[in-house]
């Protein structure tokens, strides 16, 4: 088997630190399974603005188009946060998602055995939590027509079309069919026209999948149910912004954003993009204390979903679980450094 090509996009802040640990784990896996990966590291976000003036340079996008998969850290930070700035690191991320047609963002949230006490929620609420957010990623208010009208008025528009809703809800149903056969579709149909279309289309897609239960839930009460009864959910499908917000809330269930991976997928042929759901964490960047697990678990999703290496993906997830019994970063109440956490994962893989 020839080497699979993985583009690494560390980005900004802790992105650089956590992608380095994921690469270490992938190198160890390659050794264990007698495979090889061809890594190609490229610029995105603030680092790319500093070097080229563009948060998504053409050569980065070209490398991604030619890759088998992409592993990204995070973008953004205070250095580029001036509200008057014309270019922003986050534009690089939105553009790469759009350019590659990555319309579905899978964000699994699971209760980790042994880590139940990391959550501020009571253990009995966390036990049995195993849900999968499917976030629409290339439409909605993120891709409307933003307008700044002088200094007194600014607006964004939220548009959804039938095909945009249909393809992501269809994927949610197909994923649910392999899980607990329950889809919760999130909207705000009581107020927003775009969300009434969302609900209509979700209902139609649901009718094509009689074996899977469909439940509609307004986003505001979902925010409440997610922390009062998280074990009630299986697949949760939501538009771009609601999915963004609810999935960060999902981090409360595991106790830290530092554990949550994601996969962004498009139509067959598009390379998948894998990244932790958290950001560049400027408050801890450069200190060597960030938790690399979300990125390592994103690499496991990459192995399974884009690289056809389910066995290696399983091995990596087991190694993470073992490593967490020996080392934990500060966000999980431990004192392991980012590198020490990465080393513990490598040791579990090769030990």
Interacting residues toward ligand NAD by CB under 6 A: 14, 18, 74-77, 90, 93, 257-258, 275, 278-284, 290-291, 294, 331
Of 96 and 300, the one with the shorter C-beta distance to ligand IPM is 96
Work out what residue 258 binds among Mn ion, ligand NAD, ligand IPM, none; the CB cut-off runs from 5 to 8 Å by kind: ligand NAD
Work out what residue 294 binds among Mn ion, ligand NAD, ligand IPM, none; the CB cut-off runs from 5 to 8 Å by kind: ligand NAD
Tell me the three state secondary structure of residue 337. Answer: coil
Sign, Cα dihedral of 322, 327, 330, 334: positive
Least distance between ligand NAD and beta carbon 38 (Å) = 24
Work out what residue 257 binds among ligand IPM, Mn ion, ligand NAD, none; the CB cut-off runs from 5 to 8 Å by kind: ligand NAD
Residue 323 C-beta-side C-alpha neighbours within 13 Å: 32
244 is catalytic: yes
Q: Residue 210: which residues within 8 A CB-CB, separation 6 or more?
A: none
List 7, 18, 72, 93, residue binding ligand IPM (CB under 6 A): 93
103 is catalytic: no
One of 103, 142, 160, 274 is an active-site residue; which one? 142
Stretch that binds ligand IPM, among 21-29, 89-97, 188-196, 298-306 (CB under 6 A): 89-97
Alpha carbons 68 and 350: distance in angstroms, whole number:
25
Alpha carbons 46 and 44: distance in angstroms, whole number:
7
DSSP 288: T
One of 244, 274, 331, 343 is an active-site residue; which one? 244
Cβ neighbours, 10 Å, residue 170: 17
Cβ neighbours, 10 Å, residue 17: 25
How many distinct helices (H) and strands (E) make up the chain? 12, 12
Tokens of 182: 């329950």
- Which H helix or E strand runs over 95? helix 89-99
- The owner of tokens 């538009």 is 239
- Integer CA distances (angstroms), 310 to 108, 113, 178, 300, 333, in order: 17, 22, 16, 8, 31
List 277, 315, 345, 349, residue binding ligand IPM (CB under 6 A): 277
244 binds Mn ion (CB under 5 A): yes
- What is the x/- site pattern for ligand IPM, positions 241-270, by CB under 6 A? ---x--------------------------
- What is the x/- site pattern for ligand IPM, positions 27-66, by CB under 6 A? ----------------------------------------
Residues at the site binding Mn ion, with contacts judged by CB under 5 A: 244
- Residues identified as active-site: 142, 188, 220, 244, 248
Interacting residue ranges for ligand IPM, rule: CB under 6 A: 76, 90, 93-94, 244, 277, 279
């Amino acid at each position: 088997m020839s080497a699979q090509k993985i583009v690494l996009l560390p980005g900004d802040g802790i992105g650089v630190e956590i992608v380095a640990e994921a690469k270490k784990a992938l190198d160890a896996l390659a050794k264990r399974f007698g495979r090889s990966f061809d890594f190609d590291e490229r610029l995105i976000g603030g680092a790319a603005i500093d070097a080229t003036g563009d948060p998504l340079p053409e050569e980065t996008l070209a490398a991604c188009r030619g890759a088998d998969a992409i592993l990204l850290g995070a973008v953004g930070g205070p250095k580029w946060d001036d509200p008057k700035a014309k270019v922003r690191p986050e534009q690089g991320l939105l553009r790469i998602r759009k350019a590659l047609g990555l319309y579905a963002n899978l964000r699994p949230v699971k209760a980790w055995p042994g880590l139940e006490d990391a959550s501020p929620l009571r253990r009995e609420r966390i036990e049995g939590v195993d849900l999968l957010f499917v976030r629409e990623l290339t439409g909605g208010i993120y891709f409307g027509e933003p307008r700044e009208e002088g200094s007194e008025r600014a607006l964004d528009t939220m548009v959804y079309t039938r095909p945009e809703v249909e393809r992501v809800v269809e994927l949610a149903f197909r994923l649910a069919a392999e899980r607990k056969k329950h889809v919760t579709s999130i909207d705000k149909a009581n107020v927003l026209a775009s969300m009434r279309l969302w609900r209509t289309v979700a209902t139609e897609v649901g009718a094509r999948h009689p074996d899977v239960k469909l439940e509609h839930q307004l986003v505001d009460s979902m925010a409440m149910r997610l922390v009062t009864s998280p074990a009630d959910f299986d697949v949760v499908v939501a538009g771009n912004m609601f999915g963004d917000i609810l999935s960060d809330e999902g981090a409360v269930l595991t106790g830290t954003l530092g554990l949550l991976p994601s996969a962004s997928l498009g139509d067959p042929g598009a390379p998948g993009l894998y990244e932790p759901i958290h950001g560049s964490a400027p408050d801890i960047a450069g200190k060597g204390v960030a938790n690399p697990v979300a990125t390592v678990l994103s690499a496991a999703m990459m192995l399974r979903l884009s690289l056809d290496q389910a066995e290696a993906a399983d091995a990596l997830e087991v190694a993470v679980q073992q490593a967490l019994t020996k080392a934990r970063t500060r966000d999980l109440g431990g004192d392991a450094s980012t590198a020490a956490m990465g080393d513990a994962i490598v040791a579990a893989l090769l030990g």
